[in-house]
Structure 1
Amino acid sequence: MMKKIFLFLSLLSFIFASDKTIVIGATPTPHAEILKFSKPLFEARGYKLEIKEFNDYLIPNFALNDKDLDANFYQHKPFLDDFNKNKNTNLVSIEHILLVPMAVYSNKFKDIANIKNGASIAIPNDPTNESRALDLLEKANLIKLENKENKTPLDIKENSKKLKFIELKAAQLPRALGDADLAVIPTNYALGAGLNPLKDGLIIESKDSPYAIVIAVRKGDEDKEKSKILKDVLRSKEIKEYIEKTYQGSVIPTF
């Protein structure tokens, strides 16, 4: 009898501990860094934050959909919408937190105006970030694009410099700088490779970009206590000050 009581109490303890633990997925820089800083803020509200890091843009959404995570924090809403559409999932954004502006980098050129004909440009191969990268190159007057939602190199209608495009996973783009003439790199991966978009970028995305990073949860979990705590903490004064002080404008709070 005592053994059964002990097992029951142990089960209750596990359930209570799980209920007070928020498991969140994130890519390392800057998202997981911000989450690590935020842990005491969650503890002050009676919650433990468990962070699972990913070096991939798809797995954190699969993990959230499969209930291995309570939330994730690494993607912008256009990427989330495209994932839902293509993977038949129902994940939702509950709040935007920051903008990580995309930039163009080069180890071979100091000025975008000096890019030679036939130069190679490495770009992300996931649909929304690839389109975002091409939009940035169009704003720099390097190419002209067809007017559509998710653009690929096939949608380039003018390419006077005959630029060549190399499509890679976003995590591979910093390493591509050794071979490609330029690379368009999302800032979370650029920062992880020691690149600062403000100092090292030849072109940088404007601050009015629609690609703010969001907290994502499963549909139906928007009003749960854990979701409310996530929004409160990650949009707090302490987090805003940390982002501004740590990243010096290369990561921008959106609140």
Structure 2
Amino acid sequence: MKKKYLLLITALLFVFLAACGGDEEESGSDLLEDGVLTVGVTAGPHEEIVEKIAEIAAEDDLEIKTVVFSDYVMPNVSLDEGEIDISSFQTEPFMDSMVEERGLDIVKVADTVTFPMGVYSESVDSLEDLPDGATLGLPGDPTNSGRALLLFEQAGLITLEEGLGVNATVNDVIDNPKDLELLELDSAQIPRQLGEVDAAAINSNFAIEAGLSPNDDSLFIEQDSTFVNLIAARTENQDDEVVQQFIDIYHTDEVKEFIEENFDGSVVPGW
């Protein structure tokens, strides 16, 4: 009899502890278990903007830690694997291609800024001066490669097969009057390799980080760019209160003014 009572008490105690544990899990945001919101960014403007957001968030007792990446791939992998909480560095077409390619469980939660892509050169002062057979560098990842090809087409250097948009590849060039060589490179490394090619398409965040001004130094810049960058979160955390708090701070007039005053039109608020 005593054994039965003991088993009953043990069972009730187990249920009670499980219920308490469940309440703990449901209270608050999973992202703030350590009291810090970790945000993945690429170096340059994204990093500077999030640092500004961190200053504002500190006034509301929200601590933000910035993790800086040197490429476009690892921030998404790190987000999916839970090493960071949210990210702010990429366009939607790029994220969608990575989600499809790698099966990542991440989603867009808000728009941020636009970085017009530009064409830069250390050897010519005008695209008209490019010699026949010149080498053009462009990002090697699928989305930014297609975007760069569209930029070259806007600049009158090549013609692409119609209707492909950012899905265009170097194999879709149907007219290349100067017989230009299109060389795909790592996006983050292109500014350092600019002297090794005749000209190159560079994402503005990497250009600015390398000391280039998209407005002053580019030979041609993207016209009416629709490639708005975004904030991404894991699907399970997209509705977390702290994620919305970060978005609300990002979209304040204070952050908008910071962007407009510090980047001289090279970075444009996109919300």
User: Please, what TM-score do these two structures have when normalized by structure 1?
Assistant: 0.91
Aligned to 1:220, what secondary structure does the other structure show? helix
Match of 1:142 in 2: 157
Match of 1:156 in 2: 173
Are the structure 2 counterparts of residues 50 and 83 from structure 1 closer, same or farther at C-alpha, using a change threshold of 3 Å? same
One-letter amino acid of the counterpart of residue 37, structure 1:
K
Aligned to 1:177, what secondary structure does the other structure show? helix
Does residue 230 of the first structure (1) align with residue 225 of the second (2)? no
Could you tell me how far apart the structure 1 residues matched to 2:78 and 2:126 are? 41
Q: Quick one: which of 215, 218, 228 aligns to 1:198? A: 215
Does structure 1 conserve the Cα–Cα contact (< 8 Å) formed by 2:113 and 2:230?
A: yes
Aligned to 2:148, what secondary structure does the other structure show? helix
Could you tell me how far apart the structure 1 residues matched to 2:59 and 2:201 are? 40
Query: How many Å apart are 1:46 and its aligned residue?
Result: 2.2
Does residue 214 of the first structure (1) align with residue 230 of the second (2)? yes
Could you tell me how far apart the structure 2 residues matched to 1:62 and 1:254 are? 25
Does structure 1 conserve the Cα–Cα contact (< 8 Å) formed by 2:119 and 2:219?
A: yes
Are the structure 2 counterparts of residues 41 and 117 from structure 1 closer, same or farther at C-alpha, using a change threshold of 3 Å? same
Alignment of 1:96-111 (within 5 A): 96-111=111-126
Indicate the structure (1 or 2) with the bigger Cα radius of gyration: 2
Does structure 1 conserve the Cα–Cα contact (< 8 Å) formed by 2:31 and 2:237?
A: no
Q: How many residues align?
A: 240
One-letter amino acid of the counterpart of residue 85, structure 2:
D
Match of 1:173 in 2: 190
Match of 1:122 in 2: 137
Does residue 88 of the first structure (1) align with residue 103 of the second (2)? yes
1:180-237 Cα deviation digits (max 9, x unpaired): 000100011101110011000011012x322111000011322111210111011111
User: Please, what TM-score do these two structures have when normalized by structure 2?
Assistant: 0.85
Query: How many Å apart are 1:16 and its aligned residue?
Result: 10
Query: How many Å apart are 1:17 and its aligned residue?
Result: 6.5
Structure 1 gap segments, 5+ residues each: 1-14
Q: Quick one: which of 248, 251, 255 aligns to 2:267? A: 251
Could you tell me how far apart the structure 1 residues matched to 2:203 and 2:32 are? 36
Query: How many Å apart are 1:146 and its aligned residue?
Result: 1.5
Could you tell me how far apart the structure 2 residues matched to 1:217 and 1:146 are? 35
Spell out structure 1 runs of 4+ moving beyond 4 A.
Answer: none
Does structure 1 conserve the Cα–Cα contact (< 8 Å) formed by 2:31 and 2:85?
A: no
Aligned to 2:197, what secondary structure does the other structure show? coil
Does residue 62 of the first structure (1) align with residue 77 of the second (2)? yes
Does structure 2 conserve the Cα–Cα contact (< 8 Å) formed by 1:176 and 1:183?
A: no
Structure 2 gap segments, 5+ residues each: 1-29
Aligned to 1:232, what secondary structure does the other structure show? helix
Are the structure 2 counterparts of residues 162 and 50 from structure 1 closer, same or farther at C-alpha, using a change threshold of 3 Å? same
Does structure 1 conserve the Cα–Cα contact (< 8 Å) formed by 2:123 and 2:195?
A: no
